[in-house]
Amino acid sequence: MKLLMAQAAAALAQIDSSSANTMVTVDVIGSEDYIEAGGNTTLTCSWNLPVDSEVFCDYEGVEDDYDSVEQCRQAWEASEELGHPEFNPDNFQLFWKLDINDNNHKSLLSWRVGQEPQMYKTRYAEGLIFNGDFDAQSASLVIPEVTIGHDGLEYSCEVHWGGTYGEQNVELTVYQNAQAVELATIEDVLEGRDQRIGNETIPAQESYDVAECVVRSVYPEPATVTFLLNGVEHAVDAADVTPNGDGTFDASATLTLAPEGQFDGAEVSCISVAAPTAVTVENDEESTFAVEVFYYTNEASIEVTGGATAISDEDYYVIEGNSYQVSCQANGNPAPLVQIRSLDGTVISEEDAIVAARNEKVQLTCEASNNSPANETFTAGLAISDVASVDVYYIDAPAAGTDDEAEYDKEYRKSCSASGNPAPKIQWTRAGSSTVISEKDLVLGKVTYNDEAEYTCTATNTAGSQSDSFELSVDGPCVVRTEEPVAGTSGEGEHASLSIMCVVAGPRENACKISWQGPVGLEETFAQSEQLPKENGSLLLFSNLVKLSEPTEFTCSASNSYGVRTAVAQVNADHEPACCQPSRNASLGTGAIVGIVIAIPAILIIVGAAVFFCRKQQQDKDDTCVEEGDDAADAEKQPLQASEPDGEGGDAGDDAV
């Protein structure tokens, strides 16, 4: 803290600006950016003085004087204990200075509140008018009768308060308007055509010196001189610049133009503008003149408009029946004679509306020339021409042909033709869809009955699109297939349901007749079926079918003029309960099973007794029980025994029954 107080005391003790803290905000402005020589200008200096630690330490570069902003604030608080100056004029002083050369400042004036301003003895301080207002924190300095010698001078306002100070500079920019702008005509007729003098041809000049402009007594030194051509500025580098004794300059330049059409009739004048805010000084009205340019036609451009569309710079197309116009623009002075002709030499007027006709490709030529046969002074120039072509685009409806019939499973192709310009693109679509199925020819490959439809051929080019359609039918044999049988239960016992679908495809005009056949031996069962016609075939239906004991086939037949086609549906063990389960097993109730079990032992006893007596009798009488002795010895012919199971798990009793 003692160190900070020492720093604060040292800061308060130092008033010299070279060591003071730059914490005063100063702003200097001039009354105008550009000052005209001979007038007055006012410089205004305003400032803000620190009144607390935040303001005191809020300046750019505070860390150059202190380690941190916080240290600056601590120093301010320490200086309060020493009684630092408050916001009052006691420690305030203002200086106006002038930077003469290389930061060599010369004091012009100093001012303390409550005292008369002190003017220093220098020629730059003579005539200065000072006004200061401490309460308003503002001071002004009026510089009377500014001369071009003030241009570039840098004035500085420097404010000291306590141990702080601030400053800012402002530079004067001084100009002096030209005393006069003088325009002299050199050549106002520009000839761009070869001249003929006797038998000699003199080529036209490529450019002409048209006018000279001199700007008198202007400051600062001009780099260019500005000509006006019909009000458009053309700056020309100053060719000759002469300094005058009063510090001003005279500058001159020459306007050079080529004999081109854009300059014909242009008014030529000259101006001087010494500064952006300066008044424009122009030559006297009597010296302004117009340029007259004579030149050969060297550009011609033909253009087709109306219903025409450009393909390139030279090619156009028009859709048949639309109209178009042709025009041609050409340069040259005097105005050229322009003629538009077709290939056969017919002259076409720009006002003509030409209707585009088919098979017509028009070749157009525009010729332009400003030759004057009556004036033999100038050599005749060549006629300039431009060409264009107009092609007529059209599209005709394609020919898809009459309705057609294809044969089933045979390759089918149909062509479609259309005329147009340019050659149209051919595409085929099927009714109900916008998808392109073929280009050029309609190619269906091997046709099926699903290919029966209306087909549309569309021809398209730049002129538009046209379409034609035909109906395709398919003739051929019936196509038959059966679907997987569907079995189900139907009531109790030995009955089930069964349905078989026969799908038939065939031509619309040659309808297929559908019939069903059942296997031999099941005529009564088959007679109980129903044959239900469907949109795509026939359904064979058994509602109360006696369950089949073995695989069975049902045949679907379809016939038309191409013959008979059949398809077989097989009902097998995969279609339970309709097939392949013995009906007796399925129909035995609990009581029947118990009766069979009780009867089996009695039956076995009877059979065994018979065998015993038969064998006993055989011993007494030869071969009285068995007619063929060989069969008696065969195992397949021997009676089954209850103790010998069969191959299905021992149902010997069932087999015996």
334 or 267, which is more confident? 267
126 and 14 in a single domain? The answer is yes
Mean pLDDT of 238-263: 94
Mean pLDDT of 311-335: 92
Per the prediction, the chain carries an average pLDDT of 82
Mean pLDDT of 346-362: 90
pLDDT computed for residue 644 by the predictor: 35
Q: Could you tell me if 76 and 65 are in contact, meaning their C-beta atoms sit under 8 angstroms apart? A: no
Evaluate if residue 271 carries a pLDDT over 80.
Answer: yes
Domain boundary (366, 395, 424) is at 395
Evaluate if residue 447 carries a pLDDT over 70.
Answer: yes
Evaluate if residue 630 carries a pLDDT over 50.
Answer: no
226 and 373 in a single domain? The answer is no
What is the β-pairing status of strands 425-430 and 384-395? Answer: unpaired
pLDDT computed for residue 57 by the predictor: 72
Evaluate if residue 351 carries a pLDDT over 80.
Answer: yes
Number of domains in the chain: 6
Q: How far is CA 413 from CA 403, 432, 449, 640, in A?
A: 13, 21, 16, 74
Mean pLDDT of 381-387: 85
Domain boundary (474, 502, 528) is at 474
Mean pLDDT of 151-166: 85
277 and 379 in a single domain? The answer is no
| 147-161, 352-366, 616-630: range with lowest mean pLDDT | 616-630
Mean pLDDT of 121-129: 86
464 or 586, which is more confident? 464
Mean pLDDT of 116-121: 90
Residues 196 and 402: their CA atoms lie apart, in Å, by: 78
pLDDT computed for residue 572 by the predictor: 94
171 and 188 in a single domain? The answer is no
619 and 542 in a single domain? The answer is no
Evaluate if residue 242 carries a pLDDT over 60.
Answer: yes
pLDDT computed for residue 163 by the predictor: 66
Mean pLDDT of 546-568: 93
The pTM (predicted TM-score) of the whole model is: 0.52
Mean pLDDT of 585-590: 40
Evaluate if residue 349 carries a pLDDT over 60.
Answer: yes
The model's confidence at residue 125, banded by pLDDT at 50, 70 and 90, is confident
pLDDT computed for residue 627 by the predictor: 36
Angle at 155 between CA 153 and CA 161, to 5 degrees: 165
pLDDT computed for residue 504 by the predictor: 95
Residues 16 and 241: their CA atoms lie apart, in Å, by: 48
32 and 171 in a single domain? The answer is yes
Evaluate if residue 597 carries a pLDDT over 60.
Answer: no
pLDDT computed for residue 60 by the predictor: 63
pLDDT computed for residue 100 by the predictor: 75
74 and 130 in a single domain? The answer is yes
pLDDT computed for residue 441 by the predictor: 93
Residues 643 and 657: their CA atoms lie apart, in Å, by: 15
Q: How far is CA 224 from CA 220, 233, 272, in A?
A: 12, 12, 9
462 and 506 in a single domain? The answer is no
pLDDT computed for residue 491 by the predictor: 64
- Which SS3 state, helix, strand or coil, does residue 220 take? coil
Whether residue 592 lies inside any domain: the answer is: no
Residues 121 and 527: their CA atoms lie apart, in Å, by: 146
pLDDT computed for residue 596 by the predictor: 39
Half-sphere exposure for 591 (CA within 13 Å, toward CB): 0
Structure confidence by residue, pLDDT tens digits, 507-554: 988 899 999 999 988 888 899 899 999 999 999 999 888 888 899 999
Evaluate if residue 657 carries a pLDDT over 50.
Answer: no
pLDDT computed for residue 328 by the predictor: 93
| 54-68, 145-159, 252-266: range with lowest mean pLDDT | 54-68
Strand order in the sheet with 453-461: 404-407, 464-475, 453-461, 425-430, 436-439
290 and 305 in a single domain? The answer is no
The model's confidence at residue 607, banded by pLDDT at 50, 70 and 90, is very low
- What domain range includes position 281? 180-295
Domain boundary (455, 474, 493) is at 474
225 and 153 in a single domain? The answer is no
Amino acid, res. 390: V
Evaluate if residue 463 carries a pLDDT over 70.
Answer: yes
Whether residue 281 lies inside any domain: the answer is: yes
Evaluate if residue 595 carries a pLDDT over 50.
Answer: no
The model's confidence at residue 471, banded by pLDDT at 50, 70 and 90, is very high
| 97-106, 398-407, 433-442: range with lowest mean pLDDT | 97-106
Residues 382 and 369: their CA atoms lie apart, in Å, by: 7
CATH number of 430's domain:
2.60.40.10
159 and 229 in a single domain? The answer is no
